[in-house]
Structure 1
Amino acid sequence: MTTTFDMDDLRSLLRSCAGEPESVDLDSDIATTTFEELGYDSIAIIELAACVKQNFGVAVSDTAAVNTNTSQDFVDHVRGLLTHGNTIHRPRRADHDMTPASAEPAGKSDSIAPA
């Protein structure tokens, strides 16, 4: 899992998750620009937060995402989550007992026997 997040990561996620508005050049200096000024609404920012979770393993709350003032504020928030180890631990499939109920040994069923 990646432990860094910078403006280039934000640009990449904006393009892949929320699209790039025609009137905006994301390659310009957008650090002090609000998402609204960039042409992104709250739904796009929530989608961006979901992409951060998927790609970087940290959960940015919807509230935190839509309340960031500038692009740099968002980057700093994600960077802080990564720095403080707030990554999401996804259990591997092998960590769970995936034994179907029908594979239980005889006499170990939870069903009630007729009286």
Structure 2
Amino acid sequence: MSEKEFTVEDLKRILRDGAGEAKGVDLDGDILDTDFEVLSYDSLALLETGGRIEREYGISLEETSITEAVTPREFIDIVNEQLRNSVAPVG
């Protein structure tokens, strides 16, 4: 089991790195329950974000669960569930 937790700060960093930040959108505000659509992120941006998370955290995310996440809170829960279910490397 992984001890790492994926946080809203991790999500913000990866969103900014991969998809940028739309003009007039403040990711530093309380965004946990704001729809990705309102934050100007579409399904392609979420897939890119998911791919970056997979590479950085060494996990596999289901494409459908990523694109069905409506808010950052839902997305973070999906990532953390996968992190909890992943097997830590032996060594």
TM-score interval for Structure 1 and Structure 2 normalised by the shorter chain: 0.7 to 0.9
Structure 1 spans left out of the alignment, 5+ residues: 90-115
CA shift, 1:86, in A, is: 5.8
What is the Cα-based RMSD across aligned positions, in Å? 1.8
Distance 1:49 1:2, change over 3 A: farther
Higher relative contact order (CA 8 A, sep 6+): 2
Within the alignment, does 1:18 sit opposite 2:19 as a pair?
yes
Q: Which has the larger radius of gyration?
A: 1
Match in the other structure for 2:49: 48
CA shift, 1:2, in A, is: 7.3
Structure 2 spans left out of the alignment, 5+ residues: none
Question: Aligned pair count?
Answer: 88
TM-score, L = length of structure 2: 0.87
Distance 1:4 1:41, change over 3 A: same
Moved over 4 A (4+): none
CA shift, 1:28, in A, is: 0.4
CA distance in 2, matches of 1:62, 1:86: 20
CA distance in 2, matches of 1:72, 1:46: 16
TM-score, L = length of structure 1: 0.70
Identity of aligned residues (%): 34
